[in-house]
Amino acid sequence: MATTMTKLLTADDLLRLSGEGVHGELIRGVLYETMPSGYAHSKIAANLTILLGSYIKPRRLGSLATSDLGVWLERDPDTVREPDIAYFSAAKIPLDAMDSGYAEVPPDLVVEIVSPSDSRREVADKARMWVRYGVDLVWVVQPDTRTVDVYEPGRAVVTLNEHDTLDGLAVLSGFTYAVSDIFDT
C-alpha cells in the first residue's frame, strides 16, 4: 500500500509564494490560503489602526503592522501566522528596525477581526494560540455582534460590548477608546 507524503513548506517558501501572489499562512508546514475579507473587515481594521497609531506613534512606544505581516512562531516544521493588526513595543523591535522578512518575536498586542468566512471557534483557537506563543493581549473583534473578546495569559476571556471601553491594559497603558468607535464610520 503506497502513501502520498505532502511536502511541508518552509517560511522561505511562503515568502517566495507571496511574491507570486499566493496569500496565506503556514501552520506546521502546511499552507492555508487566505482570501480578501471584505469592506466591513477592512474598515474596522483601518479604524483600529488609526486609533492605535494615534496613541503609539507620538509616544514612540513601538510599531504597528497590518495583515501583510507574517509572524514566524515555529520552526521545523514552520508556522507563520498573519494577524490583522500587531503592535510590537520598541523593547521588542527597535523603532528604526527595518527587515523584509517575517517578524521573529511575538507581538505585544494582536487584533483579529472575524471575517464572514471565519467560525467563532477558529478565531478563538487562533487567539489562544497567540497567547500561547507569548502575546500579552489579544482583541478579537466580532463585527456581527459589535463586541470585542479580550484574551490575556492566565485570565478568562472578557467580552466587551459597544457600550464598554477598550483598554490597552499593561500592554498600552493609558490607551482607552469606546468599543463603538471601532465600528463607527
pLDDT digits (tens, 9 = 90+) for 38-68: 888 899 999 999 999 999 999 999 999 987 7
pLDDT confidence tier of residue 185, bands split at 50, 70 and 90? low
CA gap 29, 152 in Å, rounded: 27
Which residues neighbour 111 within 8 Å (Cβ) at sequence distance 6 or greater? 45, 48, 83, 84, 85, 86, 138, 139, 140, 141
CA gap 159, 146 in Å, rounded: 10
pTM value? 0.90
* Class of 38-71+80-183 in CATH: alpha beta
CA gap 117, 136 in Å, rounded: 26
Mark residue 134 as left, alpha or beta (left: phi above 0; alpha: psi -120 to 50; beta: remaining): left
Domain borders along the chain are 38-71+80-183
Ramachandran angles phi, psi of 13, nearest 5°: -60, -45
pLDDT confidence tier of residue 2, bands split at 50, 70 and 90? very low
